[in-house]
Structure 1
């Protein structure tokens, strides 16, 4: 899908994003004034990237390495989660010990690419690609100064083992699971996050909002934290509604999960377009549009979703506001909720012309 206006590799960038999808981390990077080059192979996601003004040529990260984007000082990645998520095949979870062994071997300098091809599901091995890139960059004498990785919670043991390897080549590392609603995302979702830095001790971002607890009033809790964000406030439909999930609860397909518009959304997945919505009288309402589903992930409402399988694109993405907090923390800063909402509510194409947070001006020479 290359186009005449897209420069060929190699090109310079501040940040390389592996498994970039339709742009979750790329959107946050753009808000922060970072020039990002994303590697993504899915042509539907690339169609959205093209419409959003992001680089759009399909790539397989296994065919490239740090030499292909010289000068980049940040490495990020959110490998495919299908084999690790509870709703997926489970092949990654079953192969966890095997994958951890591959991490150790990579740290010892072994080439494990041939062994990865023997895994039950080849997508499982993709979780190791960011480590390959980091190790190759270090061997070239131009290590990334900041590394940020995200995945489903089941991958946390892999991130921690990767952290051991990265610490062995000079990085300082922190890894844990974050809850999206604690960062102003109107959705409950948990992500395993790794931050590694060459200089200074990294810290995970500080929560700005209270954790969601079913049946607990959002105004109750720590006084220094904001109430969690609701679907109603995010979408502004003008009426109360209830979302009936496509998923069964407790394994019973008849027990559909329900959330009201005065709560955060349940985890947004590729099946969000199948969720039913009813008003307070039980009357059916329009289902979520792509813009609304994207907004529950904290993409701007006008983000130009394109190509096919849009619901899956949206469900696979990291919420840009969570990415904004994580990237900022990785570079030693904290973004306020007010600044985060300012960029979410800004028309996306306006962001293409300028970086609303001018982040690099505030970072200064910290990573030069």
Structure 2
């Protein structure tokens, strides 16, 4: 991999295993900090990007691997694909959250009940048995869910065929296409037609019966839960396995991140990690408060193995201001406090403590990245980004952000956002009316030269961890003993390297056969 040369070596070098690694947001951040990363990722498009970026990758389902396969990994990271959890109401999201929390509690109970057991092998057997029971329950649910989904698809196909037959019959009986469409929308055949035509009445009845069957199948699928439940549990089990399996060495640190709705899961994870001897911290992070030119909120769980202290880990300190709509967009002059902080030796630092910097705008981020983009990042006149999404529950009320503000959250639909002349609805000319992959990646703080590849690149970018956010979190967890001045220098160095990063080589994707001789496997 290609990096900017630096005079300061990394304070420590860790071997990181990244589950659900995506296109490499955390990986590229770890690399510029000087760490080695191996990712596991199943999506073919994300793996194609990783290969071109030179990111060491095992392609496949995380569930086909085990923590024991990678005994030399010192740090575990990841962002498991999570279903939408919601604590409100009694819908599928609430049930999914309850299921996950119930499984975590079962694992936590097994860990607690075997703590301090005089026979480590017997204790491990009990914990592993609990996991196998959970794994088998989830497997049976997935098998049944696949069968129910197949039946649901067959019913939906039958409904489509019945609807077509109903429309044809209505038109044969004299209804206009518009009248037929309205009757089908109401799903109610006029009595005059029903009495006159038994075939039409039968079609409407069959269609209604299929609708009832379909509703029952949907309810059953909700009861069975989401197949991602098992994926959500994987990082927890990998940490338990490395902590409790005889002969294994516990991970030195763990970093997990996901959407805000997953925070309740991370809190329960943290309780288990506490039992296993980790210091932990859960925290909501606003991306723009860490120099990401985008407003986005993430739920992060951080853990560090430390038998000498049970105090929580400190919070990750924000470096930039939060963005508030309508706030001043003028970047202020550098503003410092009067006091000079002490360094680790008790002497005054020569550099004053800085107040948080202004958030970074889209325009500033794109301009800074342009020289490293090979022409992929383009200059624009003052612009407004019109979101593909509505606001306030109104689809037509598209969200808008001007060039001199942070972007709205970058999602998998980023390529559909329109870029118009500021204050108008007139698209920019010369194909500047859409962000290309390099530009969308920059707004997610990927290097401008990141080699996006494979299918659905927009989705890859939208799902990725913002590398600049990952840089802050990894530095915080893996380098806890740096002084304040060292932290500032370390982040400044890492950000410069991240912006200027370029791929050095393409690597081959690994499968199970690649475990043999891999640096993390010890085989």
TM-score of Structure 1 vs Structure 2, range by shorter chain: 0.7 to 0.9
Structure 2 equivalent of residue 276 of structure 1: 418
Contact 1:85 1:152 in 2 (8 A): no
Other-structure match for 1:189? 296
The answer for the alignment partner of 1:15 in structure 2 is 16
Instruction: Give, in angstroms, the shift of residue 45 of structure 1.
Output: 0.5
One of 207, 232, 235 as aligned partner of 1:127? 232
* Residues 292 and 360, structure 2, Cα contact 8 Å, conserved in 1: yes
> 2:385, 2:418 within 8 Å by CA — same for their partners in 1?
yes
Q: Secondary structure at the match of 1:22?
A: coil
**Does the CA contact (< 8 Å) of 2:385 and 2:420 recur in 1?**
yes
Q: Match for 2:357 among 226, 236, 250?
A: 226
Q: For 1:298, which of 426, 445, 464 is the aligned residue? A: 445
Aligned residue for 1:39, secondary structure, equals strand
Unaligned runs of 5+ in 2: 1-13, 111-126, 142-223, 337-354, 368-378, 507-523
SS in 1 for 2:56: coil
Whether 1:240 aligns to 2:240 is no
Moved more, 302-311 or 196-205: 196-205
Note if contact 1:84-1:152 (Cα within 8 Å) is conserved in structure 2: no
Q: Is 2:356 the counterpart of 1:214?
A: no
Hey, which of these two has a bigger chunk of helix by percent?
2
Distance 1:259 1:93, change over 3 A: farther
| Structure 1 partner of 2:244 | 139
What CA deviation, in whole Å up to 9, does each residue of 1:10-41 have, x standing for no partner? Answer: xxx70110000000111111111111110000
Change (3 A) 1:343 1:84: farther
- 1:232 offset after TM fit, Å? 0.5
* Cα gap change, 1:44 to 1:93, in 2 (>3 Å): farther
Residue 125 of structure 1 and its aligned partner are, at CA, apart by 2.8
Alignment correspondent of 2:186: none
SS of alignment partner, residue 107 of structure 2: helix
Quote the residue 2:475 is aligned against: 328
1:351 deviation in Å? 10
Question: Paired residues, what number?
Answer: 337
The runs of 4+ residues in structure 1 deviating greater than 4 Å are 90-93, 218-223
User: Any idea what SS the aligned residue of 1:131 has?
Assistant: helix
Q: Which residue of structure 2 lines up, in the alignment, with residue 3 of structure 1? A: none
Q: Provide the TM-score with structure 1 as the length reference.
A: 0.86
Shift of 1:93: 4.6
SS of structure 2 residue aligned to 1:349: coil
1:90-169 to 2 correspondences below 5 Å: 91-107=92-108, 108=110, 109=127, 110-111=130-131, 112-117=134-139, 118=141, 119-140=224-245, 141-169=248-276
Aligned to 2:460: 313
Whether the 8 Å contact between 1:178 and 1:192 is mirrored in structure 2 is yes
Give the secondary-structure state (helix, strand or coil) at the position aligned to 2:320.
coil
Structure 1: runs of 5 or more not aligned:
1-12, 353-368
Matches of 2:275 and 2:474, distance apart in 1: 23
Determine the C-alpha separation between the residues in 1 that align with 2:27 and 2:94: 28
Deviation at 1:51, TM superposition (A): 0.4
CA distance in 2, matches of 1:351, 1:165: 40
Cα 1:298/1:217, change in 2 over 3 Å: same
CA deviations 1:105-128 (Å, max 9, x no partner) are 112232211233434220133111
Alpha-carbon distance in 2 for matches of 1:52, 1:157: 34
Is 2:313 the partner of 1:202? yes
In the TM superposition, 1:260-275 aligns within 5 A as: 260-275=402-417
In structure 2, how many angstroms separate the alpha carbons of the residues matched to 1:335 and 1:274? Answer: 37
Query: Aligned in 2, Cα 1:84/1:345: closer, same or farther, shift over 3 Å?
Result: same
1:348 to 498, 502, 507: 502
- Of 310-319 and 64-73, deviating more is 64-73
Residue 238 (structure 1) shift:
4.2
Higher mean alpha-carbon deviation, 230-239 vs 287-296, is at: 230-239
User: Structure 1's 42 and 93: CA in aligned 2 closer, same or farther, altered over 3 A?
Assistant: farther
Structure 1 pair 25/186, CA: closer, same or farther in 2 (3 Å)? same
Deviation at 1:350, TM superposition (A): 5.8
TM-score, normalization: structure 2? 0.61
